[in-house]
């Protein structure tokens, strides 16, 4: 898909949780280098603003980049498993952001996930070694139809309770929904400048006619906890759920690994 005009939209303020507006704004306005608006990685996002921001600066040689340890700004065991699977050395940051109380406000889902990823990565920058990649991601499901001011589209993150999880799964049944993962890769260079690589991956998932009994059994298991949209793709496929998907299964799990590895290298 061809690149579009260089424009990154300014998101509205987030609410709740004491989120700082400067982090959200800075995800879309690099302090140095041109900001290019390119198509979202994965499926096109319809009328939603495409997001990919890079702040270029001199990179270390490819071999050094490939062997460097990654500072992971995430508690997610699934993201750690994906990195381990591909043999990517990494360590988990200590000063992680708790985004539980944050609310998106009037921004698009793509803007929201990439801003949260940037917030998480920026929060741990003091823990990073010079030139060490900082990797952060945020994944949400998006239910409803996109594309208009009166859209029914809404962001669905991790469920707040068993009752909430059951409601999410029942709403997802017999319908397609989108899965967006925002990714931020930051590097603190020797000259003190921060290099930033921000992008959004989109996939789609269809949950078939899952019975109420199967949903109740799943909710009782507690496996819905800590998962965007109340499910993990691989776990539910292995459990025999009637699921179809379009896009990168790793991205649906929480990290578009192929895209991340191409940027780390």
**Catalytic site positions:** 138
How many other CB atoms sit within 10 Å of the CB of residue 20?
A: 13
Assign 236 to helix, strand or coil: helix
Look at phi and psi of residue 240 and say left if phi exceeds 0, alpha if psi is from -120 to 50, else beta.
Answer: left
Let me know: does 166 contact 219? Beta carbons within 8 Å. yes
Q: Produce one character per residue of 31-70: b if its CB has 16 or more CB atoms within 10 Å, e if not.
A: eeeebbbbbbbbbebeebbbbbbbbeeeeeeeeeeeebeb
End-to-end CA distance of the chain: 23
Tokens of 1: 């898909």
Let me know: does 13 contact 23? Beta carbons within 8 Å. no
Residue with tokens 């200590």: 94
Let me know: does 143 contact 204? Beta carbons within 8 Å. no
């Amino acid at each position: 898909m061809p690149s579009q005009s260089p424009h990154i939209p300014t998101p509205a303020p987030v609410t709740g949780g004491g989120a700082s507006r400067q982090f959200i704004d800075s995800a879309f306005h690099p302090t140095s280098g041109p900001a290019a608006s390119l198509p979202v990685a994965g499926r096109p996002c319809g009328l939603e603003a495409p997001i990919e921001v890079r702040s270029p600066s001199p990179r270390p040689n490819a071999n050094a980049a490939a062997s460097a340890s990654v500072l992971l700004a995430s508690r997610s065991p699934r993201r750690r498993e994906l990195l381990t699977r591909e043999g990517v050395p990494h360590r988990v940051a200590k000063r992680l952001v708790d985004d539980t109380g944050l609310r998106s406000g009037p921004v698009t889902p793509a803007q929201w996930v990439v801003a949260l990823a940037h917030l998480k990565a920026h929060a741990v920058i003091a823990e990073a070694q010079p030139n060490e990649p900082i990797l952060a991601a945020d994944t949400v499901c998006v239910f409803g139809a996109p594309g208009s001011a009166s859209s029914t589209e809404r962001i669905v993150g991790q469920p707040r309770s068993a009752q909430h999880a059951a409601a999410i799964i029942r709403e997802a049944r017999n319908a397609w929904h989108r899965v967006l993962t925002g990714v931020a890769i930051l590097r603190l260079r020797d000259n003190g400048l921060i290099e930033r690589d921000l992008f959004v991956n989109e996939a789609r998932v269809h949950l078939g006619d899952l019975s109420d009994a199967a949903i109740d059994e799943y909710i009782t298991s507690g496996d819905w906890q800590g998962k965007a949209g109340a499910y993990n793709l691989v776990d539910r496929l292995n459990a025999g759920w009637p699921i179809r998907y379009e896009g990168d299964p790793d991205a649906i799990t929480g990290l578009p690994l192929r895209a991340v590895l191409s940027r780390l290298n």
